[in-house]
Amino acid sequence: MPDDAIYLEQMELGPMQNFVYLIGDPQARECVVVDPAWEIDTIVETAQADGMRLTGALVTHTHQDHVGGSLASWGMPGRIPGVEELLTRVPLKVYVHRSEREFLPGLGSDLVKVDNHDTLAVGRLTLRFLHTPGHTPGSQCFLVDDRLVSGDTLFIGGCGRTDLPGSDPSEMYYSLTQRLAALPDATVLYPGHNYGGPSSTIGDEKRDNPYMRVASLGDFLRAMGGGRVVMP
């Protein structure tokens, strides 16, 4: 499929350098949003201005800076508007990995549980869910054509924290070095935070990212235990 056959908008929203994505089919005029947590107005208005109909929300994982919710568990006041506010504006389905569905209570039939290698049609596009646990049990990446939206699993030059409740550094090792490293080198990487620029490729990360270059699980666990971790 030629490049212009995909609609992809990358927006850096909120105070934590989160990247929110709109991905869709410009001919069908249909798109999904990835990790709608911050500035719901901006998300809805951007899709509208581009003439795209929002039909789904895809969740890379259920941390508040990706789906919204109370900040009490982070010891901070207030809440991030997130998926719940988006649903009051636009009727759509919310796709979350089955192992984190309990962290999105109250969505009822709007919630769709997905698993590794499930697919979703967005217009003529086929979007594939890749389960990449480690940062959280239900962390997932989304593959569409030759583009990967990686949430907090793989960052440019880094990876997500594995010292949080529900994290598992061994799972992160296998997600990075088996599942994501198996993708073609030309796959374009779109991370969940702007920690090193807007995009990279799997090939560049396999060559330069110390968390993908690591030689063994033991080395990886030592690296993650040594405090060299990137923010959530």
Dihedral of CA 145/150/133/42: which sign? negative
H/E stretch holding 74 = none
**Other Cβ atoms within 10 Å of 204 Cβ, number:** 16
- In this structure, are residues 123 and 24 in contact, taking their beta carbons and an 8 Å threshold? yes
How many amino acids of this chain bind Zn ion (CB under 5 A)? 3
Residue 157 or 232 with smaller CB distance to Zn ion: 232
Q: Taking CB under 5 A as the rule, does residue 133 contact Zn ion?
A: no
Residue 47 or 58 with smaller CB distance to Zn ion: 58
- In this structure, are residues 132 and 175 in contact, taking their beta carbons and an 8 Å threshold? yes
The phi-psi region of residue 172 (left if phi > 0; otherwise alpha if psi is between -120 and 50; otherwise beta) is alpha
Residue 33 or 90 with smaller CB distance to Zn ion: 33
Q: How far is the CB of 164 from Zn ion (least distance, A)?
A: 7
Residues 141-180: x where in contact with Zn ion by CB under 5 A, - otherwise, as a string? -----------x----------------------------
Q: Taking CB under 5 A as the rule, does residue 193 contact Zn ion?
A: no
- Helix (H, G, I), strand (E, B), or coil: what is residue 159? strand
What whole-number distance in Å separates Cα of residue 216 and Cα of residue 152? 21
Residue 108 or 227 with smaller CB distance to Zn ion: 227
Q: How far is the CB of 81 from Zn ion (least distance, A)?
A: 17
Determine which residue in the list 24, 82, 137, 232 makes contact with Zn ion, applying CB under 5 A. Answer: 232
Q: Taking CB under 5 A as the rule, does residue 97 contact Zn ion?
A: no
Q: How far is the CB of 135 from Zn ion (least distance, A)?
A: 6
Q: Taking CB under 5 A as the rule, does residue 63 contact Zn ion?
A: yes
Residue 155 or 173 with smaller CB distance to Zn ion: 155
Q: How far is the CB of 62 from Zn ion (least distance, A)?
A: 9
Pick out residues in 23-62 that bind Zn ion (CB under 5 A): none
Residue 57 or 90 with smaller CB distance to Zn ion: 57
Position of minimal CB gap to Zn ion: 63
Extract long-range pairs of 139-143: CB within 8 Å, 24+ residues apart: 139/60, 139/61, 139/97, 139/175, 140/59, 140/60, 140/61, 140/97, 140/114, 140/116, 141/60, 141/180, 142/23, 142/34, 142/58, 142/60, 143/183, 143/187
Contact residues: Zn ion, CB under 5 A: 63, 152, 232
